[in-house]
Structure 1
Amino acid sequence: MTTTRYEPRVDVEAISALDVHVHVEADGHGHHSLDDELMDASAAYFKGAENRTPTVDDLAARYRAAGMAAVVFTVDATTATGHPALSSEEIAEAAAAHADVLIPFGSVDPHQGVAAVRRARLLVDDYGVRGFKFHPSLQAFSPDDPAFTPLWAALEELGVPALFHTGQNGIGAGLPGGRGIKLRYSNPLLLDDVAADFPGLTVILAHPSVPWQAEAISMATHKANVFIDLSGWRPKYFPPELVRAAGGMLRHKVLFGSDYPLIAPERWLDDFTDLGIDAALLPGILKQNAAGVLGLPERL
């Protein structure tokens, strides 16, 4: 079978924003990224969603109509949850048909060891994914564990960024024991060793890292290869220290992300414009910083 390899065609000048955090929640076979209990808990935590189970085609249509582009991905937590993951290969191939508005990231299960490293290489080399998404709490692993260093070394060699969930967790929220999901794995400071030991690997800390926001800001200030995506919280709820950093010393290190379908990008953008951040910085935060991280050309 011939693989359709993704090649980006996003015109950064033509779009209004580049959303670096968008979830594919369903595939063309009717399979969902999480089981019903976890999906219901997440939707309740975020007080509903516009479309709870968007496919790649749904996302392409939605972001094209909005004049935006989006980084799209799933999370492979097969070992930790027992729920079969969506196929990152299928996501990449589907995104190839919408390369003007979509940028696929892959996801591998870190617990699969050598197989995860092999699959990461395949996803980049054969399918053209532009980065990887990890969720330490959902995937039940500590990023600083030496067992995972071969994976980080491979991503550094491949030259693609790794985006990690950090901070509070909507998945499992309100369930007994949080369904066994452990928040401590999402402390951003666990990624400081990764960023230090692999300086050629771009590490993106996803979300305001509550209750560890100071740690995330410290890391992004200290290490050139650490960035923060601003997804997962409506900006009106951002910690004041994050607002100050985004409009100041980290203005080149923060990236727009919504966490769609949990938060609509337009709602996020409306909130963000009310924060009082200098309007001259908005193009950088909303698309140019991300374009640089993703290696997208200024012009096609």
Structure 2
Amino acid sequence: MNLDELVAIDFHTHAEEPCCGPRDDGYDEFQAAMAKYFRNPAGAQGMLPTIPETAAYYRERKIAAVIFAVDCEREVGFRRYANEEIAEVAAENSDILIPFASIDPAKGKVGAREARRLIRDYGIKGFKFHPTMQGFYPNDRMAYDLYEAIAEENCIALFHTGQTGVGNGMRGGMGMRLKFSHPMYLDDVAVDFPDMPIILAHPSFPWQEEALSVATHKPNVYIDLSGWSPRYFPPILVQYINTILKHKMLFGSDWPAITPDRWLSDFAQLEIREEVVPLVLKENAAKLLNLK
């Protein structure tokens, strides 16, 4: 990966299409609801990109991408994608893709062993957690075996926070409970694992100020700005991007629900200080990922 040639690093992209077989029952309906919420025709038409297609899209734009799936089969019922397969395809496109993995924390010590193996054998750089889709509070002690493995291997833990449209409009929200993704639960995790980088993914609606307080108070906590068009960012978030948290904010799109083209175009309309823009788009991520 040639950092100097990159325009940006997108810290939040999804490997949506199964690597290992056809879609599960209910997956089309789930993606159609997401597509309606985000106005994404590809999702509604069942034409979401494969990982190689994602790599080609990002390579054309000279944007690196952190990519992952979500292990939510226990709570939501969708068969999880093999972390190994995602890592292998990412390795084939290592000039542009940075592999993260996803393990349901309910797997306990088995999950911790898998995490260590993925880091050591497949070059995984971090792990994505989705408390709403995985049905757990981030500070639940059942997750601590997995966190310990991640922390000891000097990797990153990225957590979905707030409400971004997942399950939106579906009957009962598809059974997903928003309470699990309150960012304040991650304050406990930051205390108990002070050397593990923790990323609060998305503007944490409706708990934006809580997320900002945790990121301000805990040195190891960052925020990625994915899942929302910047045109909807609340003023207090823009204020913190420009000032006290300018070194802890990360560009993320939430591809393919939101494309980087759309996100970057809307971000350019915000009143962001000139010296802050490269920090958010690339420099903060490069430092966090040890690419410098």
- Equivalent residue letter for 1:43: A
- Equivalent residue letter for 2:66: V
Q: Identical aligned pairs, as a percentage?
A: 49
Aligned-residue CA RMSD (Å): 1.4
Partner of 1:164: 159
The correspondence for 1:24, drawn from 15, 25, 49, is 15
Task: Give aligned pairs, total.
Answer: 288
Once the two structures are superposed, residues 28-49 of structure 1 have per-residue CA deviations (whole angstroms, 9 ceiling, x without a partner) of 4454487122111111111115
Aligned counterparts of 1:195 and 1:26: Cα–Cα separation in 2: 32
Q: Secondary structure at the match of 1:19?
A: strand
The correspondence for 2:5, drawn from 6, 14, 18, is 14
Partner of 1:132: 127
Aligned counterparts of 1:263 and 1:240: Cα–Cα separation in 2: 21
The correspondence for 2:265, drawn from 264, 270, 283, is 270
Kept after mapping to 1: 8 A contact 2:19/2:82: no
Aligned counterparts of 2:195 and 2:276: Cα–Cα separation in 1: 26
Kept after mapping to 2: 8 A contact 1:49/1:261: no
The correspondence for 1:103, drawn from 68, 86, 98, is 98
The 5-angstrom pairing of residues 38-117 of structure 1 reads 38-50=30-42, 52-117=47-112
Q: Which runs of 5+ in 2 are unaligned?
A: none
Q: Secondary structure at the match of 1:188?
A: coil
Say yes or no: does 1:142 pair with 2:133. no
- Equivalent residue letter for 2:86: I
- Equivalent residue letter for 1:180: G
Kept after mapping to 2: 8 A contact 1:31/1:86: no
Aligned counterparts of 1:105 and 1:49: Cα–Cα separation in 2: 26
The correspondence for 1:189, drawn from 178, 184, 192, is 184
The correspondence for 1:174, drawn from 153, 169, 172, is 169
1:218 Cα shift? Answer: 0.4
Aligned counterparts of 1:139 and 1:29: Cα–Cα separation in 2: 21
Kept after mapping to 2: 8 A contact 1:49/1:262: no
1:53 Cα shift? Answer: 2.1
Kept after mapping to 2: 8 A contact 1:75/1:107: yes
Q: Secondary structure at the match of 2:125?
A: coil
Kept after mapping to 1: 8 A contact 2:251/2:281: yes
- Equivalent residue letter for 1:201: M
Kept after mapping to 2: 8 A contact 1:41/1:174: yes
Partner of 1:253: 248
1:50 Cα shift? Answer: 4.8
Partner of 1:5: none
TM-score of the superposition, structure 1-length normalised? 0.93
Q: Which runs of 5+ in 1 are unaligned?
A: 1-9
Q: Secondary structure at the match of 1:147?
A: helix
- Equivalent residue letter for 2:38: F
**Structure number with higher relative contact order (C-alpha < 8 Å, ≥ 6 residues apart):** 1
Aligned counterparts of 1:223 and 1:205: Cα–Cα separation in 2: 12
The correspondence for 1:223, drawn from 204, 210, 218, is 218
Kept after mapping to 2: 8 A contact 1:49/1:263: no
Once the two structures are superposed, residues 208-254 of structure 1 have per-residue CA deviations (whole angstroms, 9 ceiling, x without a partner) of 00100001100111011000000000000001100000011110000
Q: Secondary structure at the match of 1:167?
A: coil
- Residues 25/180 of structure 1: CA separation in 2 closer, same or farther (3 Å cut): same
- Equivalent residue letter for 2:105: P
Aligned counterparts of 1:65 and 1:288: Cα–Cα separation in 2: 20
